[in-house]
Protein backbone atom coordinates (compact mmCIF):
# COMPACT_ATOMS: atom_id res chain seq x y z
CA UNK A 1 0.00 0.00 0.00
CA UNK A 2 1.41 3.38 -0.98
CA UNK A 3 1.97 5.91 1.73
CA UNK A 4 -0.52 8.75 1.36
CA UNK A 5 0.74 12.27 1.83
CA UNK A 6 -0.38 13.63 5.18
CA UNK A 7 -2.62 16.68 5.01
CA UNK A 8 -3.48 19.25 7.63
CA UNK A 9 -5.84 16.81 9.33
CA UNK A 10 -5.04 13.14 9.68
CA UNK A 11 -7.67 10.40 10.12
CA UNK A 12 -6.73 10.37 13.79
CA UNK A 13 -7.45 14.10 14.10
CA UNK A 14 -10.87 13.66 12.51
CA UNK A 15 -11.89 11.31 15.30
CA UNK A 16 -12.15 14.26 17.65
CA UNK A 17 -15.63 15.87 17.59
CA UNK A 18 -14.31 19.44 17.63
CA UNK A 19 -12.02 18.79 14.66
CA UNK A 20 -14.88 17.21 12.71
CA UNK A 21 -17.06 20.28 13.35
CA UNK A 22 -14.31 22.66 12.23
CA UNK A 23 -13.64 20.52 9.15
CA UNK A 24 -17.35 20.51 8.29
CA UNK A 25 -17.52 24.29 8.64
CA UNK A 26 -14.49 24.65 6.35
CA UNK A 27 -16.17 22.47 3.73
CA UNK A 28 -19.39 24.50 3.97
CA UNK A 29 -17.48 27.77 3.52
CA UNK A 30 -15.67 26.37 0.46
CA UNK A 31 -18.98 25.11 -0.95
CA UNK A 32 -20.57 28.53 -0.43
CA UNK A 33 -17.64 30.19 -2.23
CA UNK A 34 -17.93 27.75 -5.15
CA UNK A 35 -21.69 28.34 -5.46
CA UNK A 36 -21.26 32.11 -5.30
CA UNK A 37 -18.82 31.93 -8.23
CA UNK A 38 -20.69 29.36 -10.32
CA UNK A 39 -24.15 30.86 -9.83
CA UNK A 40 -23.67 33.98 -12.04
CA UNK A 41 -22.21 31.85 -14.84
CA UNK A 42 -25.10 29.39 -14.60
CA UNK A 43 -27.65 32.24 -14.59
CA UNK A 44 -26.10 33.74 -17.72
CA UNK A 45 -26.09 30.37 -19.49
CA UNK A 46 -29.68 29.43 -18.62
CA UNK A 47 -31.01 32.90 -19.44
CA UNK A 48 -29.21 32.61 -22.75
CA UNK A 49 -31.34 29.62 -23.77
CA UNK A 50 -34.67 31.01 -22.51
CA UNK A 51 -37.25 32.84 -24.54
CA UNK A 52 -37.12 36.60 -24.06
CA UNK A 53 -40.55 36.62 -22.43
CA UNK A 54 -39.40 33.98 -19.97
CA UNK A 55 -36.32 35.98 -19.02
CA UNK A 56 -38.49 38.98 -18.12
CA UNK A 57 -41.04 37.03 -16.09
CA UNK A 58 -41.41 37.70 -12.36
CA UNK A 59 -40.74 35.91 -10.14
CA UNK A 60 -37.85 34.53 -12.17
CA UNK A 61 -37.06 30.83 -12.25
CA UNK A 62 -33.64 29.27 -12.53
CA UNK A 63 -34.08 26.58 -15.20
CA UNK A 64 -35.64 27.38 -18.58
CA UNK A 65 -39.04 25.97 -19.54
CA UNK A 66 -37.92 25.61 -23.16
CA UNK A 67 -34.38 25.41 -24.52
CA UNK A 68 -33.89 27.92 -27.33
CA UNK A 69 -30.42 27.12 -28.66
CA UNK A 70 -30.94 29.37 -31.65
CA UNK A 71 -30.35 32.30 -29.30
CA UNK A 72 -26.65 31.58 -29.54
CA UNK A 73 -26.80 31.65 -33.32
CA UNK A 74 -28.54 35.04 -33.20
CA UNK A 75 -25.99 36.28 -30.67
CA UNK A 76 -23.11 35.17 -32.88
CA UNK A 77 -24.44 37.22 -35.80
CA UNK A 78 -25.46 40.25 -33.73
CA UNK A 79 -21.94 41.72 -33.76
CA UNK A 80 -18.81 40.74 -35.62
CA UNK A 81 -17.37 38.55 -32.87
CA UNK A 82 -14.53 37.08 -35.01
CA UNK A 83 -13.23 40.58 -35.79
CA UNK A 84 -13.19 41.68 -32.17
CA UNK A 85 -11.71 38.35 -31.12
CA UNK A 86 -8.96 38.81 -33.70
CA UNK A 87 -8.29 42.29 -32.32
CA UNK A 88 -8.04 40.88 -28.80
CA UNK A 89 -5.56 38.21 -29.84
CA UNK A 90 -3.56 40.82 -31.77
CA UNK A 91 -3.40 43.00 -28.67
CA UNK A 92 -2.34 40.00 -26.60
CA UNK A 93 0.43 39.10 -29.06
CA UNK A 94 1.82 42.65 -29.06
CA UNK A 95 1.64 42.91 -25.28
CA UNK A 96 3.44 39.59 -24.95
CA UNK A 97 6.22 40.70 -27.28
CA UNK A 98 6.66 43.88 -25.22
CA UNK A 99 6.73 41.79 -22.04
CA UNK A 100 9.44 39.48 -23.38
CA UNK A 101 11.61 42.09 -25.06
CA UNK A 102 11.24 45.22 -22.92
CA UNK A 103 10.50 43.80 -19.48
CA UNK A 104 12.67 40.73 -20.07
CA UNK A 105 15.72 42.80 -21.03
CA UNK A 106 15.07 45.33 -18.25
CA UNK A 107 14.78 42.65 -15.56
CA UNK A 108 17.82 40.85 -16.97
CA UNK A 109 19.89 44.04 -16.78
CA UNK A 110 18.73 44.69 -13.22
CA UNK A 111 19.59 41.14 -12.21
CA UNK A 112 22.77 40.32 -14.14
CA UNK A 113 24.46 43.56 -15.16
CA UNK A 114 26.42 46.02 -13.07
CA UNK A 115 25.66 49.65 -13.87
CA UNK A 116 25.44 52.88 -11.84
CA UNK A 117 22.35 53.49 -9.69
CA UNK A 118 20.94 50.07 -10.53
CA UNK A 119 19.33 49.63 -7.10
CA UNK A 120 17.88 53.13 -7.22
CA UNK A 121 16.30 52.40 -10.60
CA UNK A 122 14.87 49.15 -9.31
CA UNK A 123 13.47 50.94 -6.26
CA UNK A 124 11.86 53.51 -8.53
CA UNK A 125 10.17 50.77 -10.57
CA UNK A 126 8.89 49.07 -7.43
CA UNK A 127 7.58 52.37 -6.04
CA UNK A 128 5.22 52.63 -9.01
CA UNK A 129 3.35 49.59 -7.63
CA UNK A 130 1.98 51.89 -4.90
CA UNK A 131 0.67 54.49 -7.36
CA UNK A 132 -3.06 54.07 -8.16
CA UNK A 133 -3.51 53.39 -11.90
CA UNK A 134 -6.25 56.03 -12.15
CA UNK A 135 -3.72 58.79 -11.35
CA UNK A 136 -1.70 58.28 -14.53
CA UNK A 137 -4.50 57.70 -17.03
CA UNK A 138 -4.47 61.32 -18.22
CA UNK A 139 -0.64 61.63 -18.39
CA UNK A 140 -0.45 58.33 -20.26
CA UNK A 141 -3.09 59.48 -22.75
CA UNK A 142 -1.24 62.77 -23.32
CA UNK A 143 2.06 60.95 -23.85
CA UNK A 144 0.51 58.55 -26.34
CA UNK A 145 -1.15 61.44 -28.14
CA UNK A 146 2.20 63.26 -28.43
CA UNK A 147 3.68 60.05 -29.86
CA UNK A 148 0.84 59.93 -32.45
CA UNK A 149 -0.16 56.37 -31.54
CA UNK A 150 -3.78 57.10 -30.58
CA UNK A 151 -6.24 54.93 -32.55
CA UNK A 152 -3.52 52.34 -33.13
CA UNK A 153 -2.56 49.16 -31.30
CA UNK A 154 0.65 50.84 -30.15
CA UNK A 155 -1.48 52.75 -27.66
CA UNK A 156 -1.89 49.46 -25.80
CA UNK A 157 1.42 47.82 -26.66
CA UNK A 158 3.69 50.60 -25.37
CA UNK A 159 2.19 50.75 -21.82
CA UNK A 160 2.49 46.94 -21.64
CA UNK A 161 6.26 47.37 -21.47
CA UNK A 162 6.02 49.28 -18.18
CA UNK A 163 4.44 46.73 -15.85
CA UNK A 164 6.36 46.83 -12.55
CA UNK A 165 4.74 43.65 -11.21
CA UNK A 166 5.92 41.60 -14.18
CA UNK A 167 9.35 43.21 -13.82
CA UNK A 168 9.47 42.06 -10.19
CA UNK A 169 8.57 38.47 -11.08
CA UNK A 170 11.11 38.29 -13.89
CA UNK A 171 13.96 39.84 -11.90
CA UNK A 172 13.30 37.49 -8.98
CA UNK A 173 13.44 34.54 -11.36
CA UNK A 174 16.65 35.73 -13.03
CA UNK A 175 18.23 36.18 -9.58
CA UNK A 176 17.80 32.45 -9.01
CA UNK A 177 19.62 31.39 -12.19
CA UNK A 178 23.15 30.06 -11.88
CA UNK A 179 25.54 33.01 -12.50
CA UNK A 180 28.26 30.65 -13.74
CA UNK A 181 26.25 30.07 -16.91
CA UNK A 182 26.48 33.74 -17.83
CA UNK A 183 30.11 34.02 -16.79
CA UNK A 184 30.99 31.11 -19.07
CA UNK A 185 29.13 32.77 -21.93
CA UNK A 186 31.03 36.01 -21.40
CA UNK A 187 34.35 34.14 -21.38
CA UNK A 188 33.40 32.53 -24.70
CA UNK A 189 32.80 35.99 -26.14
CA UNK A 190 28.99 36.05 -26.05
CA UNK A 191 27.36 39.46 -25.73
CA UNK A 192 24.82 40.26 -23.01
CA UNK A 193 22.04 40.30 -25.57
CA UNK A 194 23.01 36.83 -26.73
CA UNK A 195 23.23 35.68 -23.12
CA UNK A 196 19.66 36.79 -22.59
CA UNK A 197 18.13 35.19 -25.68
CA UNK A 198 20.19 31.97 -25.67
CA UNK A 199 20.55 31.32 -21.93
CA UNK A 200 18.20 33.36 -19.78
CA UNK A 201 15.14 33.22 -22.01
CA UNK A 202 15.09 29.42 -22.59
CA UNK A 203 15.58 28.81 -18.87
CA UNK A 204 12.79 31.28 -18.08
CA UNK A 205 10.05 29.71 -20.18
CA UNK A 206 8.03 28.67 -17.07
CA UNK A 207 7.80 32.23 -15.76
CA UNK A 208 7.11 33.62 -19.23
CA UNK A 209 4.34 31.02 -19.65
CA UNK A 210 2.80 32.29 -16.42
CA UNK A 211 3.08 35.88 -17.57
CA UNK A 212 1.44 34.89 -20.87
CA UNK A 213 -1.65 33.83 -18.92
CA UNK A 214 -1.68 37.12 -17.01
CA UNK A 215 -1.20 39.13 -20.21
CA UNK A 216 -4.00 37.21 -21.93
CA UNK A 217 -6.33 37.82 -18.99
CA UNK A 218 -5.54 41.54 -19.06
CA UNK A 219 -6.04 41.78 -22.84
CA UNK A 220 -9.31 39.86 -22.61
CA UNK A 221 -10.85 41.75 -19.67
CA UNK A 222 -9.68 45.34 -20.19
CA UNK A 223 -12.40 47.41 -21.82
CA UNK A 224 -11.96 50.88 -20.29
CA UNK A 225 -8.55 51.93 -21.61
CA UNK A 226 -9.12 50.73 -25.22
CA UNK A 227 -12.15 53.03 -25.49
CA UNK A 228 -9.75 55.99 -25.20
CA UNK A 229 -6.82 54.92 -27.35
CA UNK A 230 -8.32 52.71 -30.08
CA UNK A 231 -10.62 53.39 -32.99
CA UNK A 232 -13.86 51.44 -33.23
CA UNK A 233 -12.61 48.96 -35.83
CA UNK A 234 -9.73 48.02 -33.48
CA UNK A 235 -11.78 47.50 -30.32
CA UNK A 236 -11.06 44.29 -28.38
CA UNK A 237 -13.86 41.91 -27.56
CA UNK A 238 -14.45 43.21 -24.03
CA UNK A 239 -14.87 46.80 -25.23
CA UNK A 240 -17.25 45.73 -28.00
CA UNK A 241 -19.33 43.75 -25.51
CA UNK A 242 -19.50 46.74 -23.14
CA UNK A 243 -20.50 49.27 -25.78
CA UNK A 244 -22.63 47.21 -28.15
CA UNK A 245 -24.17 44.60 -25.83
CA UNK A 246 -24.30 45.75 -22.21
CA UNK A 247 -25.11 49.37 -23.11
CA UNK A 248 -27.49 48.40 -25.93
CA UNK A 249 -31.07 49.55 -25.34
CA UNK A 250 -33.04 47.47 -27.83
CA UNK A 251 -31.30 44.14 -27.50
CA UNK A 252 -33.34 41.25 -26.10
CA UNK A 253 -32.11 40.03 -22.73
CA UNK A 254 -31.82 36.40 -23.79
CA UNK A 255 -29.53 37.37 -26.71
CA UNK A 256 -27.53 39.57 -24.36
CA UNK A 257 -27.03 36.71 -21.90
CA UNK A 258 -26.07 34.37 -24.74
CA UNK A 259 -23.37 36.80 -25.86
CA UNK A 260 -22.06 37.21 -22.32
CA UNK A 261 -21.91 33.43 -21.89
CA UNK A 262 -19.89 32.99 -25.08
CA UNK A 263 -17.44 35.64 -23.91
CA UNK A 264 -17.06 34.11 -20.44
CA UNK A 265 -16.31 30.56 -21.55
CA UNK A 266 -12.85 30.94 -23.25
CA UNK A 267 -10.97 32.58 -20.30
CA UNK A 268 -12.53 30.10 -17.86
CA UNK A 269 -11.35 27.15 -19.96
CA UNK A 270 -7.89 28.65 -20.35
CA UNK A 271 -7.57 29.15 -16.61
CA UNK A 272 -8.75 25.63 -15.81
CA UNK A 273 -6.23 24.16 -18.25
CA UNK A 274 -3.25 26.32 -17.27
CA UNK A 275 -3.92 27.00 -13.58
CA UNK A 276 -1.03 24.76 -12.48
CA UNK A 277 1.35 26.91 -14.51
CA UNK A 278 0.11 30.02 -12.70
CA UNK A 279 0.87 28.61 -9.25
CA UNK A 280 4.18 27.17 -10.42
CA UNK A 281 5.22 30.40 -12.08
CA UNK A 282 4.42 32.46 -8.99
CA UNK A 283 6.51 30.08 -6.89
CA UNK A 284 9.40 30.26 -9.36
CA UNK A 285 9.21 34.02 -9.57
CA UNK A 286 8.67 34.54 -5.85
CA UNK A 287 10.95 36.91 -4.03
CA UNK A 288 13.80 35.00 -2.52
CA UNK A 289 14.91 35.96 0.95
- Of 130, 128, 104, whose CA–CA distance to 199 is shortest? 104
pLDDT at 213 over 70: yes
pLDDT at 283 over 80: no
Q: Give the residue extent of every domain in the chain.
A: 13-72, 79-247
Radius of gyration of the chain (CA): 24
Q: Smallest Cα–Cα separation from 166: which of 130, 219, 126?
A: 126
What pLDDT, on the 0 to 100 scale, is given for residue 178? 83
Share of the chain above pLDDT 70, in %: 91
More confidently predicted of 11 and 177: 177
Write the DSSP string, 142-179: HHHHHTT-TTSTHHHHHHHTT-HHHHHHHHHHHHTS-H
Q: How far apart are the first and last CA of the chain?
A: 39
pLDDT digits (tens, 9 = 90+) for 137-168: 888 899 999 999 899 999 999 999 888 888 98
Taking residues 123-136, what's their average pLDDT? Answer: 86
Architecture of domain 79-247: Orthogonal Bundle (1.10)
DSSP states along 75-122: HHHHTTHHHHHHHHHHHHHHHHHHIIIIIHHHHHHHHH---TTHHHHH
Greater model confidence, 284 or 126: 126
pLDDT at 129: 86
pLDDT at 92 over 90: yes
Average pLDDT over residues 202-231: 87
Confidence class of residue 289 from pLDDT cuts 50, 70 and 90?
Answer: very low
> What are 6-63's pLDDT values in tens digits?
556 667 666 777 777 888 898 899 999 999 989 999 989 998 898 888 888 888 788 8
User: Is residue 96 over pLDDT 90?
Assistant: yes
Amino acid sequence: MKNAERGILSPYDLRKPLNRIVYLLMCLVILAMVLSMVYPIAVAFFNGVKANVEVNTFPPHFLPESWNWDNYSKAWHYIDLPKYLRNTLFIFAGNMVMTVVVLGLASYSLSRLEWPYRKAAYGFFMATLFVPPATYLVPSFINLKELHVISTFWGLWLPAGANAFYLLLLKSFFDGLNPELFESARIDGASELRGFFQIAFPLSLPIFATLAIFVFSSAWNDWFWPTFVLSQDRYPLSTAIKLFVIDARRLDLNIRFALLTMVMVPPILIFLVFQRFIIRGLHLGGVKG
